[in-house]
Structure 1
Amino acid sequence: MKKALGFLCLVSLFISCSKEEKTQTPNVIIIYADDLGYGDVSAYESGTLHTPNIDRLAAGGIKFTQAYATSATCTPSRFSLLTGIYPWRNERARVLAGDAPLLIHPDTTTIADIFSSAGYSTAVIGKWHLGFDYSYIMAATNDRVPTVYVKNKMVENLSPDDPLYVNYQENFEGEPTAISNPELMTKIKWQHGHNMSVHNGIPRIGFMKGGKSALWTDETMYEIFLNEVYSFIDANRQKPFFLYYGLHEPHVPRVPNEKFVGKSGMGPRGDAILEADYCVGQLLDKLGKDGLLENTLIIFSSDNGPVLNDGYYDDAVEKLGDHTPRGPLRGGKYSLFEAGTRVPFITYWKGKINPGTSDEMISQLDIAASMKSLISSGESHYDGQNFLNMLLGKEQKGREELVIQAMGRTALRWKNWAYLPANQGPAVVQHVNNETGFSMEEQLYDLSRDLGQNQNLAETESEMLEKLRNRYLELTKR
């Protein structure tokens, strides 16, 4: 069924917020990268790409070496970060289309609700928008239609004389696609899947028609979102605010601005990471100029592990060189192996957090509960736990166990062990060449001795295998 999106209501909840005068409570900013790997940040000393601005956060804050997203794909991880709920508890918490209905139930308390109830102004800028006072986002993601910005549930710059239509099942009569009109792909060509509507010389997933005045330009996206971040900070600098800043880099299609093109020597993927790093630096400079760094807690992370060829021919594989996006880990995006969910994670608060490194386990699942403790009180939030003191560097005691997810399957991290139950499914996602960790045999790895997960100990460590199998089954009962 074709849907007119003159008034686009996707997955958002609009929460009103009481406005209060400036208090002693800190501002909080979450910077959330998209498909950024453990080895893509130079502070983790694994790859060859240099990210000086993200490194500024690490040098002045705490770098977590054992931090996890809950899922190896984007929507489930974002669902968990915002709600503190495991994504596998919600069958719809998977990669969503640009016309998807509500995902988070209105009765669910999100991290935005936690801040709003404490008098904070809240905003999401970039990718995804759930439960915030203000939102300026993309409707879905870079590679999916509709390729428009959505401001507070309304399509930005949409003309009533040219409504926007979106369909994920069938094309609109007479509308060109990447298959019917390949000459329209002037900037990048599809390798798999991304062969439907073409906009800005780039083929996408899904079909759309109309809305010409509202369509974005990929090369200026970083600047559009960054300016929105500036505007939100300017409007709320005299009161506490919470900002969820969802970077779109280095998700496909990777079409960085011309000022970054060729700078990494690794093609568009490396250039897109440098673009994201630049945005982090600009935000830090803005906060410093406005005198807000000393009263702002910043959390930086990524929604899942890295992927190279994820649907477009963009030389991500060919120009990689010696760089290792996954660092010393195995797998990547879509994988139950470590590189699928172990991600960069940094906390920074000038003058309040002493620089250092933490090897304790923590998950993005725990951010909501920890922020609740920061601004009010509370020890838990759904599946999340309160690790505020660890985030602030006041203690070193993290999670003992965590259930991770990839492509509908789950696995267990317990202390220094990784348990992967027997699963049907491909061993490798062929079109991206990432190992999944799926096998009809159980897998057990001692990460303290085998971070690359090269030696399956399921046969030799039978007692540990049984212990973790039982614990996994107990935790994943639905």
Structure 2
Amino acid sequence: MRLLFLSFLVLSLSSAPLLAKALRPNVILIVADDLGYSDLGCYGSKTIRTPNLDRLAAEGTRFTSFYVAQAVCSASRAALMTGCYPNRVGMQGALNHTSKEGINPDEFLLPELFKQRGYSTAIHGKWHLGTAAMFHPMKHGFDEFWGIPYSNDNSKFHPSLAAEMPPLPLYDDEKVEQVDPDQSQFTRRITEKAVSFIRRNEKKPFFLYVPHVMPHVPIFASDRFKGQSPHGLYADVVEELDWSVGMILAAVQQAGVADNTLILFMSDNGPFLSYGNHAGNAAPLREGKLTSYEGGVRVPFIARWPGQVPAGKVNEELFTAMDLMPTFQAWREDAEPAAPVKTQDGKDVTDLLLGKEGAKSPHEAIAIYAGGELQAIRSGEWKLHFVHPYITPHDSPGRDGKPSNWENMKPAAITQSGIEGIATRHGYKVAQQPLALYHLKEDIGELTDVSAAHPDIVERLQKLADPFRQQLGDSLTKTVGTEVRPLGRAE
């Protein structure tokens, strides 16, 4: 009987996935820009055709409660790269061509972790963590870079400030290859660069970061995709992104590395709703980019790793972009040098990612900031909004690249930060959110305030917010954070 049990144990262990920390998977991290939660077929879209992303989800796991740390470009990416709330590393909002600041060179970023492990590393797409030479991605662990330093609307195509924008630089490594490139070619060229990198590194481990330029406004599709969807240019753009994912899937298969490659797909934040038919769809979630509502911070996230990440699964546990860095750090080999010791906010979510039976989110609560304002707390099924202003589109929707309320806009300069500056540049109005508790399990659209019925939960979430407020600060309560690290600054 004992021999039979041991034989069964050996068979069980041999059929289970290998422990992730014993492997060195290639990692491909694909990030769409301003993609809506409901823009993919596997997330419910009935109008946009995404067969390759649907396949990625079918062959992997689709996460439905995945959060970015802030609903705006630079802050979201700072969290993704560091494993920290952007407020902890001093990053708020979105950098632009005038910004002197960038991610501090003292911060330890995801590509530096992989570089330390002997990986080849590349970024093809949008960086958006600093423009000056000291912030260049090749100074932060990447071997190669092809792309743009900030968003594509900081160009002659800006919807309201085109006249004050300089030419958009396109980098090839550390040199400007071109200015004002043809934006309709971004997705194709980024994909070609990514596929080339995979082919050149099939014999060694690699980390490939593909932060796409699209579908951030202004949106463009190549001739092959433009006009091919019956649902307009935005659908064309997303369908071209789906093609890109298909090309990357084919490349890892052709290189013979598919079974040892973890592919991750996400968006940096929700859709830019004021742009109407040039923006994505977050329904049934409320609002979109630049807000602390679900439509701003809850985004699609798909993971595929044959034999490791369960296929065809849907995971509803709370998971954040900040968790990727500490998860990969936990896969370290015994002989690997320890990473620099700095406070992180993400958690090791290996069990969630690899689909361990009964795995739960390690987060008791997550803080949801907009700039320096602590606007909301989520814990389990509950989300508490504090009193705060927010932006919402005007009643007249934007169309064809122009934001809502276009005819009445008086845009502030690109250097004017804060909610009023954002609203004037992008066709939003400012509204006020009262203190409100939402039961997300029953009310994913954050429509019904149940705070009066659950004062105990309100009190619990208010207490959970206190450590975030003390450490990271909160301009709503004029609290200065005690554990905020400085941004880098170029003189």
TM-score (norm. length: structure 2): 0.74
Q: CA deviation at 1:374?
A: 2.7
Q: Does 1:327 align with 2:283?
A: yes
**Residue aligned with 1:80, SS:** helix
Count residues in correspondence. Answer: 395
Give the 3 Å change call, closer, same or farther, for CA 123–102 of structure 1 in structure 2.
farther
Are residues 292 and 49 of structure 1, via their aligned partners in 2, closer, same or farther at CA, if it must alter by over 3 Å?
same
Query: How far, CA to CA, are the matches of 2:343 and 2:429 in structure 1?
Result: 30
What per-residue deviation string (whole Å, max 9, x for no partner) do you get for residues 354-381 of structure 1?
A: 2111010000010001111234379997
CA distance in 2, matches of 1:198, 1:268: 26
1:386 paired to 2:351: no
Tell me what 1:336 maps to: 292
1:105-157 CA-to-partner distances (Å, cap 9, x unmatched) read 22211111111111111111101134322222212121114xxxxxxxxxxxx
Identify the residue that residue 132 of structure 1 maps to in structure 2.
Answer: 142
How far is 1:93 from its partner? Answer: 3.0
- Residue type of the partner of 1:306? P
Alignment of 1:212-361 (within 5 A): 214-310=179-275, 315-316=277-278, 325-355=281-311, 356-361=313-318
Tell me, in whole angstroms, the C-alpha distance in 1 between the residues paired with 2:67 and 2:404.
Answer: 22
Q: Pairwise mapping of residues 43-58 of structure 1 onto structure 2 (< 5 A)?
A: 43-58=42-57
Inter-CA distance 435–455: structure 2 relative to 1 (3 Å threshold): farther
The corresponding residue for 1:403 is 367
Question: 1:102 offset after TM fit, Å?
Answer: 4.7
**1:428 correspondence with 2:361:** no
In the alignment, the residues of structure 1 paired with residue 94 and residue 124 of structure 2 have an alpha-carbon distance, to the nearest angstrom, of: 19
Is 1:417 the counterpart of 2:416? The answer is no
Deviation at 1:440, TM superposition (A): 5.5
1:144 corresponds, among 138, 143, 154, to: 154
Give distance in 2, aligned partners of 1:131 and 1:387: 24
Contact persistence 2:167–2:179 (CA under 8 A): no
Structure 1 334/341 Cα, relative in aligned 2: closer, same or farther at 3 Å? same
- The question of whether the paired residues in 2 share the 8 Å contact of 1:255 and 1:268 is answered with yes
Displacement of 1:426 after TM fit? 4.4
CA distance in 1, matches of 2:233, 2:166: 19
Instruction: Read off the aligned partner of 1:462 and give its amino acid letter.
Output: P
Indicate the residue corresponding to 2:455 in structure 1.
Answer: 462
- How far the C-alpha of 1:47 sits from its partner, in A, is 4.5
What's the Cα RMSD here?
2.8
Distance in 2 of aligned mates of 1:306 and 1:224: 23
Greater fraction helix: 2
Sequence identity percentage = 33
Unaligned runs of 5+ in 2: 1-21, 128-136, 170-175, 395-402, 406-426, 471-480, 482-491
In the aligned structure 1, how far is the partner of 2:230 from the partner of 2:322?
A: 35
1:358–1:255 CA distance, 2 compared to 1 (3 A): same
Distance 1:198 1:101 in 2: 16
Query: Aligned partners of 2:57 and 2:332: how far apart in 1?
Result: 24
Deviation at 1:400, TM superposition (A): 2.9
Q: Give the 3 Å change call, closer, same or farther, for CA 214–453 of structure 1 in structure 2.
A: closer
Deviations 1:165-186 (A, max 9, x none): xxxxxxxxxxxxx7xxxxxxxx
CA shift digits 1:287-343 (9 cap, x unpaired) = 111111111001111100112444xxx8437xxxxxx71132111111111111000
How many Å apart are 1:100 and its aligned residue?
A: 3.0
- Does the aligned pair in 2 maintain the 1:79–1:93 contact within 8 Å? no
The normalised TM-score by structure 1 is: 0.76
Q: 2:160 maps to which residue?
A: 192
Cα gap change, 1:261/1:384 in structure 2, threshold over 3 Å: closer, same or farther? same
Whether 2:425 is the aligned partner of 1:449: answer no
Instruction: Please name the residue that 1:39 is paired with.
Output: 38
Distance 1:435 1:361, change over 3 A: farther
